[in-house]
Chain A
Amino acid sequence: MMLKHRTYAEVKGGDSSRMAEQVNAQQARVAERLAGVKACVAVMSGKGGVGKSLTTAAIAAACAARGLAIGLLDADLVGPSAARMSGVSSTGLEVDESGVDPATSPAGVRVMSMDLLLDDDAPLAWREPESESFVWRGAQERSALREFLSDVRWGDLDLLLVDLPPGTQRLIDLAELLPRLDGLLVITIPSAASQSAVSRSMRLAADRGIRVLGVLENMAGYACADCGEVRSLFPGDAGRRLADQHDTTLLGRIPFDPDAAGHADMGALDQIMDHTVAGAAIDEVVGKLLKAIA
């Protein structure tokens, strides 16, 4: 015999497990923590290997050099590199019940990244049984990103840059977690293959109503370490094509610069800005990016 009883909607009392209440509280904490952040911009490529993390760290440093208060959140939890590239070597993050202080780079950028928390060379691994990790790994990474947003004492910032990993899932997570995502900076390399992959990501952003602030073409030529002349590296002009295709701006073209790569490996971003061909190009991009955000 079929039992007769009220349905979920008919039982008017609150959720006995109090899950919804906790999820709402989590969202509220993110909003409260970021109340002092004037703009939040995600940096995405949709494809790996385009030099996004280095470029993002350099943009953050260039913004700081202009006197802006900048935060850099490394949302690439599996392959984190923002702290190293920003020259942050400090450990022992200050923490109390109200939150965790981010690390501060030599350029003055407030940085939070999984590479501040993991042992050297340790992969991101969770305590759960590996055999079923596909079920909850995504949820755990999303929760970790939420904690980086809500539990880090970002303070008052002119701009919080979020360095996204390759792919599109983390952009969706971020857009859902943030009370407001002010825009997306898209990075590509000149090749047609990159154009295709990045275009998909831009399409997804448009579908989600996320504003694309512009496209940056990285590795647009090769800056000779001896003479500084920029020579061809990859065929194609994906940056221009993507900007036209998605009705946005090409913010700049940054050449591959071995000097810049060497400085980044040592976390000396200030050297990039002051002494490299790539640094000058990045500074130009920053000027346009800040105008686009304003």
Chain B
Amino acid sequence: MKFLCIECDEQMIFEQRQLPGDGTLAAAFRCPRCERVVAMLTNPMETQLVSSLGIKIGGREVPEQPLELVRSEVVGGRDDAFADADPPLPPQAPGTVVWSLAAVERLEGVPRFVRGMVKRIYADYAKENGIAEITPEIMDRARSELGLEGM
């Protein structure tokens, strides 16, 4: 998929992706010459179709997690399927991302089937963006930007 700014005859570049939480997706593309930005809006069916392939429009900001599609899309996963559901530990080394108490509490509300993976995704997001402490606000931002609906 390519986006062309007809006026400038320039290929537009991916700017950002947002998931409003209603199953739809918005991806913004910008013309590098005139700076015009357009948004591609997909309905829930189109959004799901892309997601079913295990790919993200605009690319990935954080590394793909093992069994990411299975863990995030399957309903009825067993709580004890994976051994990574424990809450985040206090930071062991300088520079390690810290979890606020409120963020830990919120993480504990995530089903155990997917919790360990979600924990790693938020930590990766924080590292990628130079964030020292994960708070519920950071989690909200990551959810929207990374498309973690339902996590």
Residues in chain A within 8 A of chain B (CB atoms): 3, 5-6, 8, 11, 13, 15-19, 21-23, 26, 91-100, 116-120, 122-129, 132, 135-137, 139-140, 143-144, 146-148, 151-152
Contact = CB atoms under 8 A, between A and B. Distances in A.
A74 B57 CA distance: 30
A140 to B, nearest CB: 4
Given A92-B83, A119-B76, A144-B70, A17 B14 contact: yes
Interface in B59-86: 59-60, 63, 65-70, 72-78, 80-84
B55 A118 contact: no
B81 A5 contact: no
Given A5-B4, A16-B2, A119-B77, A97 B66 contact: yes
B83 A125 contact: no
Interface size class, chain B: 35 or more
Interface string B35-60: 00000000011001111111111111
A119 B78 contact: yes
A18 B51 CA distance: 13
B48 A17 contact: no
Given A17-B27, A126-B73, A143 B53 contact: yes
Contacts of B128: none
24 contacts: A11-B2, A11-B11, A15-B2, A16-B29, A17-B14, A18-B57, A19-B53, A19-B55, A22-B55, A95-B67, A97-B65, A97-B66, A100-B82, A116-B81, A118-B74, A118-B77, A122-B78, A132-B45, A136-B51, A139-B49, A139-B52, A140-B52, A143-B53, A152-B66
B54 A146 contact: yes
B70 A8 contact: no
State the 10 A-B residue pairs at the shortest beta-carbon distance, nearest first: A122-B76, A18-B59, A136-B52, A139-B52, A151-B66, A92-B83, A17-B1, A13-B11, A22-B55, A125-B75
Nearest to B57: A17
A124 B73 CA distance: 10
Contacts of B63: 97
B55 A147 contact: no
Interface hub of A117, A120, A125 (most chain B Cβ within 10 A): A117
Contacts of A98: 66
A16 B12 contact: yes
Contact of B58 (A18, A140, A147): A18
B9 interface: yes
Contacts of B75: 122, 125-127
A137 B2 CA distance: 26
Interface string B69-109: 11011111110111110000000000000000000000000
B130 interface: no
A127 B150 contact: yes
A98 B63 CA distance: 10
Contacts of B150: 127
A19 B69 contact: no
A147 B69 contact: yes
B44 A129 contact: yes
A140 B73 contact: yes
Contacts of A128: 48, 52, 73
A161 B33 CA distance: 54
